[in-house]
Amino acid sequence: MMSIDSKIAVFLGAPGVGKGTQAALVAQQMQMSHLSSGDLFRQAVERGDELGKQVKAIMESGALVPDEITTQMVLDRLSQSSSARGVILDGFPRNIVQAESLDKALTEKQGRKVDVAVCIDVAQEELIRRLSLRWLCRKCQTPYNRDAEDVTPLVCEKCGGELYQRADDAPDTVLKRLQVYFAATMPLIEYYKQCGILIEVDGGGSVESITARIVLAMGGSR
Residues 98-132: tens digit of each pLDDT = 899 899 989 998 888 999 999 999 998 888 888 87
- Position 163, amino acid: L
Residue 176 designated active-site: no
Mean pLDDT of 32-44: 87
d(CA 139, CA 2): 37
State the catalytic residue, choosing from 19, 77, 130, 213.
19
* Amino acid identity at 76: D
Task: State how far the alpha carbon of 101 is from the alpha carbons of 32, 69, 94, 96, in Å.
Answer: 23, 11, 11, 8
Give the chain's mean pLDDT.
Answer: 84
- Residue 208's pLDDT is 95
Q: Which of 94, 112, 129, 139 is catalytic?
A: 94
Residue 147: DSSP 8-state: -
Structural contact between residues 147 and 41, judged by C-beta atoms closer than 8 angstroms: no
Determine whether 47 is an active site residue: no
77 is catalytic: no
Strands 143-145 and 116-121: unpaired
Q: Are strands 8-12 and 87-90 parallel, antiparallel or unpaired?
A: parallel
- Tell which wins on pLDDT, 213 or 219: 213
pLDDT at res. 4? 43
Residue of 85, 112, 177, 193 marked active site: 177
Q: Which entry of 47, 109, 166, 222 is annotated as an active-site residue?
A: 166
Q: What is the pTM of this model?
A: 0.79
* Active-site position among 56, 129, 134, 193: 134
pLDDT at 27: 94
Q: What is the per-residue pLDDT across 185-212, written as a single tens digit (0 to 9) for each?
A: 889 999 999 999 999 999 999 999 999 9
Task: Write the pLDDT tens digit of every residue in 159-194.
Answer: 888 888 777 677 677 888 788 888 888 899 999 999
Question: Has residue 83 got a pLDDT over 70?
Answer: no
Asked if residue 75 has pLDDT above 50, the reply is: yes
What H or E segment, with its residue span, contains residue 43? helix 37-47
Instruction: Kindly tell me if the per-residue pLDDT of 2 is higher than 70.
Output: no
Supply the pLDDT for residue 52: 85
